[in-house]
Structure 1
Amino acid sequence: MVRVTVPATTANIGPGFDTLGLALNMYNVYNFEETELGLIIEGCPDEYNNEDNLIYKSFVIAAKEMGKEVKGLKISMNTEIPVSRGLGSSSACIVGGVYGANELLHGGLSKDELFRIAVKIEGHPDNIAPAVYGGLTASIVEDDKTYCMKYNLSEKLKFCALIPDFETSTCEARKLLPQDVTFKDAVFNISRTAVLLKAMEEGNFEVISVSLKDKLHQKYRKTLIHQYDEVKKICIENKSDAFFISGSGPTLMNIIQNPEFTNRIKVSIMNLEHNWIVKYLEADKYGVTVEQI
């Protein structure tokens, strides 16, 4: 049996739209076993217990890339990453399936090769990159080839995720975005992305807070997040060091220095219309791991 463990991820990180990603220490664990025939899936809702399951589909695609045949497969899972909350649940499924196929079927592919297969399935690299490589990543696509760089991240940086009891669709969130942006807004984001990466490396919270500002996506996507303004106000009043929408939402992420922020915020959001899970997180440095059980 092969076990694949994949971290949660947060993408965009303010100005780094479709480019930046960060791995977090919340995990999905997938176990893969070969069987004689058929498909068995355990540990997920019934609607995903079929051949349309994203883990299985990714496994099959990776197997075909390696020239391998999938006869029978059992997948069992233990998942911490919530679905459709902007924390990379679909990327975790894809990376899990791709890595599971490579290990179980003895594909012998490198990490970079597996990364590119996973990006091809997902369609964009911002969540896939940190799920594979861990830490803070920046990715680009050129002529259908994906490139990724990993950045150092200060040990000072801790994270507090506010995860609501409602979902948002990445597809619907993308429909809100404009087809064209002004030159001024493009420069605004490019400059802040460059500064943000160095500030996160050094742990400069003042510069992080300023450089997290964005004009390309968050002002549109926040309209899908119930009580966004109220939640942001509560975070600021409780001395959040920096605040941004995780991926396309609805999870809202705080970068913090003091873990005590997590306890304060739990009390402050109790009376909101929706229930919000408050989760203290740290960066995952290593990305996906694979082991034989």
Structure 2
Amino acid sequence: MISVHVPATSANCCVGFDCLGMAVDWWAHFTFEESDELIVEGCPEEFKGSNNLVVQAFYTACDYLRLDYPTFKLTIDTDIPFARGLGSSSTCVVAGILACDAWFKKNMDQLEILKIATSIEGHPDNVAPAIFGQATACFMEKENVKMSLVPCADYHCLAIVPRYEVKTSQARKVLPTKMAFKDCVSQVSHALVFIQALQQGDESLLASSCKDLLHEPYRRQFIKEYDRIKTYCEQKQLPMWISGSGSTMMVVSLEKNRLIELSKFLDENLNGLDHRCLTIAKKGAFIKYE
């Protein structure tokens, strides 16, 4: 039996739209066993077949390696919420590719796995940290992914998860088609400082760098709790951003107690929010043989 374990991710990291991502220690688990027919368990009934994203990723890796599709039993064990901006689809994509690699003992390197995963996802900001862990910065050069690993200081994270979805397609429709030159300069400068502060553990500087002009001002309308939480975080100088396209919001701090205080504020003042204390995942997806 092959077990694949993949961390959730927070894409965009505020100022890094479609290029920055961070892995967190909220894990999805997938097991693959030999079977005479394809069996999928642990997901809604409509995805218990070859249309399952994990299976599709496995098959895509087979195509890449020019191998026939095997049959197997897939069991999915995850509580990462779907369509909340925590990379749930990326966990499925990465799991399928890693399982294929392990099934056929091909020993693909991580960059090959990233290439296949990006071809499925369309962009690398979620799949890259899921594969490599910590944080990653990526860009596309034609069909090639260029990636840099961003080692992170020991930040704690609070994932604040509303009990409603924000569809990525909906969130992309509201994005601007043009941006003023001065705003482009601001975006790049804040992103550069964000990466340095994330690595160096400068929480105050990280909070100051969380001023996005590219997507958050337009997507905030879909998250009714955003403004109140953003105001709290700005007053406390806590780094905070919309995770992916939402609806999850991610807050980080070097001091876990500051996030516990925020959790109490949420419980006392805002209804309909789940929240979970996490850390940055220091490693990415991995395989166990059982």
Aligned length: 290
Distance 1:102 1:229 in 2: 44
- Root mean square deviation of aligned Cα: 1.5
Distance 1:167 1:69 in 2: 37
Which residue does the alignment assign to 1:3?
3
Paired residues of 1:133 and 1:150 also in contact (CA < 8 A)? yes
Alignment deviations for residues 210-253 of structure 1 (CA, whole Å, 9 cap, x no partner): 1111100000011111222123234455x352111111111111
The AA in structure 1 aligned to 2:33 is: E
Which residue does the alignment assign to 2:197?
199
Which residue does the alignment assign to 1:211?
209
Give the one of 252, 256, 266 matched to 1:255: 252
Distance 1:279 1:11 in 2: 17
Which residue does the alignment assign to 2:185?
187
After TM superposition, the score normalised by the length of structure 2 is 0.95
After the TM superposition, which of the residue ranges 180-189 and 224-233 deviates more from structure 2?
224-233
Distance 2:44 2:135 in 1: 31
After the TM superposition, which of the residue ranges 160-169 and 224-233 deviates more from structure 2?
224-233
Q: Which runs of 4+ in 1 moved over 6 A?
A: none
The answer to whether 1:290 aligns with 2:287 is yes
Gaps of 5+ in 2: none
The answer to whether 1:22 aligns with 2:22 is yes
TM superposition shift of 1:130: 0.3
- Label 1:49 to 1:273 Cα distance change in 2 as closer, same or farther (>3 A): farther
Alignment deviations for residues 113-143 of structure 1 (CA, whole Å, 9 cap, x no partner): 1110001110000001100010111001001
Equivalent positions of 1:46-195 (< 5 A) are 46-155=45-154, 157-195=155-193
Equivalent positions of 1:262-277 (< 5 A) are 262-270=259-267, 274-277=271-274
Alignment deviations for residues 162-207 of structure 1 (CA, whole Å, 9 cap, x no partner): 1111111111111110122111111111111111111111111121
Paired residues of 1:36 and 1:71 also in contact (CA < 8 A)? no
Distance 2:216 2:47 in 1: 30
TM superposition shift of 1:272: 5.5
Distance 1:204 1:4 in 2: 34
Distance 2:112 2:31 in 1: 21
After TM superposition, the score normalised by the length of structure 1 is 0.94
TM superposition shift of 1:27: 0.3
Paired residues of 2:208 and 2:237 also in contact (CA < 8 A)? no
Percent identical pairs in the alignment equals 34
What is the DSSP-based 3-state SS (H/G/I as helix, E as strand, rest coil) of the residue aligned with 2:93? helix
What is the DSSP-based 3-state SS (H/G/I as helix, E as strand, rest coil) of the residue aligned with 2:89? helix
TM superposition shift of 1:268: 2.0
Gaps of 5+ in 1: none
The AA in structure 1 aligned to 2:135 is: L
TM superposition shift of 1:264: 2.5
The AA in structure 2 aligned to 1:189 is: Q
Distance 2:270 2:251 in 1: 20
